[in-house]
Amino acid sequence: MEWDVKQLREKIQTTISENHSDQNSPISVPKVYEAICQILMELIEKDWSRTNQKYDETKPKQVFYFSMEFLLGRLLQSYLLNYQLLNTCNQAIKELGFDPEEIYYCEQDPGLGNGGLGRLAACFLDSTASLSYPGHGYGIRFRYGLFEQRIINGYQTELPDYWLKDRYPWEIRRADEAVTIQLAGHCYLKEREDGSLICLYENQEKIMAVPYDIPIVGYDNQTINTLRLWSAEPIADIEEQEEDQYYHQLEQEHSSWQISGFLYPDDSHYEGKQLRLKQQYFLVSASLQDILRKYSSISSATLPKKLVIQINDTHPSLAIPELLRILLDEKRLEWEVAWEITRKIFAYTNHTLMSEALETWPVDMFRELLPRIYMLIEEINERFCQDIWLNQPHLRQKIPSLAIIADHQIHMARLAVVGSFSVNGVAKIHSEILKTREMKDFYHLYPKRFNNKTNGISHRRWLVMVNPRLTHLISDTIGTSWVRHPRELTHLLRYTKDTFFLEQLHSIKQENKRKLAAIIHQRTGILVDDQSIFDVQIKRMHEYKRQLLNVFHILYLYNELKQNPKLDITPRTFIFAAKAAPNYYFAKEVIKLIHTVASIVNYDHTIHGKLKVVFLENYNVSLAEKIIPATDLSEQISTAGKEASGTGNMKMMMNGALTIGTLDGANIEMKNVVQKENMFIFGLKADEVYHIYQNNDYFANEVYQNDERLVRILHQLRDGLFGHQECKNIYYHLLSTNDPFFILKDFSDYVETQQLVDHSYTEKQRWLAKSLINIAHSGKFSSDQTIQEYATGIWKLRKG
114 and 263 in contact (C-beta within 8 Å)? yes
Closest CA to 735 of 709, 711, 700: 700
**Residue whose CB is nearest to ligand PLP in the complex, by number:** 648
Residues ≥6 apart with Cβ < 8 Å to 185: 201, 202, 203, 204, 205, 371
Specify the pairing of strand 205-217 against strand 197-202.
unpaired
Min dist CB 443 to ligand PLP, Å, is 26
Residue 450 vs 781, nearer CB to ligand PLP = 781
Residue 489 vs 624, nearer CB to ligand PLP = 624
Min dist CB 458 to ligand PLP, Å, is 11
Residue 542 vs 612, nearer CB to ligand PLP = 542
* Residue 579: CB atoms within 10 Å: 27
3-state SS string over 483-548? HCCHHHHHHHHHHCCCHHHHHHHHHHHHHHHHHHHHHHHHHHCCCCCCCCEEEEEECCCCHHHCHH
Helix (H) or strand (E) holding 247: helix 246-259
**CA atoms of 41 and 47, how far apart (whole Å):** 10
Min dist CB 649 to ligand PLP, Å, is 6
* C-alpha dist (Å) from residue 324 to 310, 412, 753, 766: 16, 16, 53, 59
Long-range contacts of 237-241 (CB under 8 A, 24+ apart): none
Residue 373 vs 457, nearer CB to ligand PLP = 457
Which residues are paired to 533 by β-bridges? 572
- Read out DSSP for 453-474? ----B-HIIIIIIT-HHHHHHH
Residue 292 vs 623, nearer CB to ligand PLP = 623
- Amino acid identity, position 738: N
Radius of gyration of the chain, Cα coordinates, nearest whole angstrom: 27
Which residues are paired to 181 by β-bridges? 207
Min dist CB 485 to ligand PLP, Å, is 23
Min dist CB 537 to ligand PLP, Å, is 8
530 and 571 in contact (C-beta within 8 Å)? no
Residue 509 vs 545, nearer CB to ligand PLP = 545
Residue 595 vs 651, nearer CB to ligand PLP = 651
Min dist CB 23 to ligand PLP, Å, is 42
Long-range contacts of 554-559 (CB under 8 A, 24+ apart): 554/597, 554/601, 554/611, 554/613, 555/597, 555/713, 555/716, 556/709, 556/713, 556/751, 557/611, 558/597, 558/600, 558/601, 558/604, 558/607, 558/611, 559/709, 559/712, 559/713
Residue 223 vs 659, nearer CB to ligand PLP = 659
**CA atoms of 347 and 323, how far apart (whole Å):** 14
Min dist CB 668 to ligand PLP, Å, is 14
Min dist CB 579 to ligand PLP, Å, is 9
Crossing angle, helix 29-58 and helix 86-95, to 10 degrees? 160
Which residues are paired to 194 by β-bridges? none
404 and 384 in contact (C-beta within 8 Å)? yes
321 and 373 in contact (C-beta within 8 Å)? yes
Q: Residues with catalytic annotation? A: 351, 539-540, 545, 647, 651
Residue 356 vs 503, nearer CB to ligand PLP = 356
**CA atoms of 307 and 341, how far apart (whole Å):** 11
Residues ≥6 apart with Cβ < 8 Å to 286: 138, 179, 181, 209, 211, 230
Min dist CB 539 to ligand PLP, Å, is 3
Residue 119 vs 612, nearer CB to ligand PLP = 119
Residues ≥6 apart with Cβ < 8 Å to 16: 27, 31, 32, 34, 35
Residue 325 vs 780, nearer CB to ligand PLP = 780
Rounded to whole angstroms, the maximal C-alpha distance in the chain is: 93
Residue 342 vs 352, nearer CB to ligand PLP = 352
Phi, psi of 153 (to 5 degrees): 60, 30
**CA atoms of 306 and 296, how far apart (whole Å):** 12
Crossing angle, helix 667-674 and helix 764-777, to 10 degrees? 110
Question: Which residues here bind ligand PLP, judged by CB under 6 A?
Answer: 115-116, 119, 539, 619-621, 624, 646-648, 651
Min dist CB 79 to ligand PLP, Å, is 18
**CA atoms of 156 and 589, how far apart (whole Å):** 9
Min dist CB 634 to ligand PLP, Å, is 9
Closest CA to 523 of 616, 402, 389, 444: 616
Give the SS3 label for residue 335: helix
Residue 403 vs 594, nearer CB to ligand PLP = 594
